[in-house]
Amino acid sequence: MTVALATFAAFPEGSDDVVALRAALAGLGVAAVPAIWDDPDIDWAAFDLVVVRSTWDYTDRRAEFLAWADGVPRLLNDAAVLRWNTDKRYLRDLAGAGVPVVPTLWDPPDPPADWPEYVIKPAVSSGSRDTARWRAGEEDRAREHLRALLSAGRTAMVQPYLSAIDTAGETALLFCDREFSHAARKAPILAAGTGVLDAPNGGQITAASATPEQLAVAHRALEAVSGDLLYARVDLVPDPDGSPVLMELELTEPALFLEHAPGSAARFAEAIAERL
């Protein structure tokens, strides 16, 4: 029995999660190897299961990535989930299903003139790429950002900047087989007023706990998705009223923050072993 943990060329050994997962799987007698998703020499049918993990370069090559997923016989999360989840337009489906999501303008021709602070980002992205935070008075640069996305044929999203993230952070709720596993807090990433990434401390991860209100939103989001979800991450931020709203439902290649939650790697390893 061999499991492949799909990663990308810049991380041939996989992320920290992959290291933790391999160790936990080894404890169950399951061999797991990191494998680069676009390596042409890999026979994916030779694995008993392929688990998508750190395939973080798919955003510029989404069609190629989905074609790869379609061709892997046993893949989790599966290709249909990946197809839906790699484009943040899925947030519209979730909003339609009654999940509170961050209010979003889709492909507006211009930045909002009357919003004090907002975020512009592409619908297909990960790791905050091509994402920036703008303030009233910065319309020229914001418009340039928006036009650059639109003229590249990308779907652009404009959202109010949820400033509670500056104090409360973003809460990530991790689910294994649709069961809550653990939570983590991600520090804010976007620097104020500059429209550029705040590289050094942005996104720093610490252990956290989940409130009943956060868990309720997360469960509602997961209930709106069908299919076999080996892993899921629900990213929530408080809205101006303090209620958790969904920023992202990551079913493709979420960092699981296993090293921040003792016992969590074993949980995911068992869920993988059960499928073999």
Member of 55, 125, 171, 264 binding ligand ADP (CB under 6 A): 125
Alpha carbon of 45 to those of 6, 22, 32, 49: distances in Å?
Answer: 13, 20, 15, 9
157 within 8 A of 233, measured Cβ to Cβ: no
Of all residues in the shown chain, the one whose CB is closest to Mg ion is: 248
Nearer to ligand ADP by C-beta: 154 or 275?
154
161 in contact with ligand ADP (CB under 6 A): yes
- What backbone phi and psi angles, to 5 degrees, belong to 188? -60, 150
Rounded to 5 degrees, φ, ψ at 163 are -70, -15
**3 contact, one of Mg ion, ligand ADP, none, CB 5-8 Å limit per kind:** none
CA torsion sign for 4, 6, 9, 12 is negative
Tallying the residues shown for the chain, one arrives at 276
Which single residue is written with the structure tokens 């909003």? Answer: 95
Of the pair 78, 170, the CB lying nearest ligand ADP is at 170
Site membership for ligand ADP, residue 55 (CB under 6 A)? no
* Residues within window 221-250 making contact with ligand ADP, judged by CB under 6 A: 235, 247-248
Least distance (Å) from Mg ion to the CB of residue 110?
Answer: 25
Tell which one of 189, 210, 256, 261 touches ligand ADP (CB under 6 A).
Answer: 189
For residue 107, give both structure tokens.
């492909």
Residue 143 Cβ, how far from ligand ADP at the closest point, in Å? 18
Number of neighbouring beta carbons within 10 Å of residue 116: 11
**Residue 138 touching Mg ion (CB under 5 A):** no
Give the nearer residue to ligand ADP in terms of CB position, either 7 or 24: 7
Residue 35 interface partner, choices ligand ADP, Mg ion, none, CB cut-off 5-8 Å depending on type? none
Which positions ≥6 away from 177 have C-beta within 8 Å?
A: 229, 230, 271
Contact pick of 57, 78, 248, 253 for Mg ion (by CB under 5 A): 248
**Do the beta carbons of residue 131 and residue 190 sit within 8 Å?**
yes
- The binder of ligand ADP chosen from 51, 91, 162, 249 (CB under 6 A): 162
Compute how many residues bind Mg ion; rule: CB under 5 A: 1
Stretch of residues binding ligand ADP (CB under 6 A), selected from 32-40, 183-191, 220-228, 268-276: 183-191
Type and span of the H or E element at 96: helix 90-96
Q: Is 139 helix (H, G, I), strand (E, B) or coil?
A: helix
CB 189 within 8 A of CB 197: yes
Site size toward ligand ADP, by CB under 6 A: 19
| CA–CA dist 33, 37 (Å, integer) | 12
Binding site for ligand ADP (CB under 6 A): 102, 119, 121, 125-128, 131, 159, 161-162, 165, 170, 188-190, 235, 247-248
Binding site for Mg ion (CB under 5 A): 248
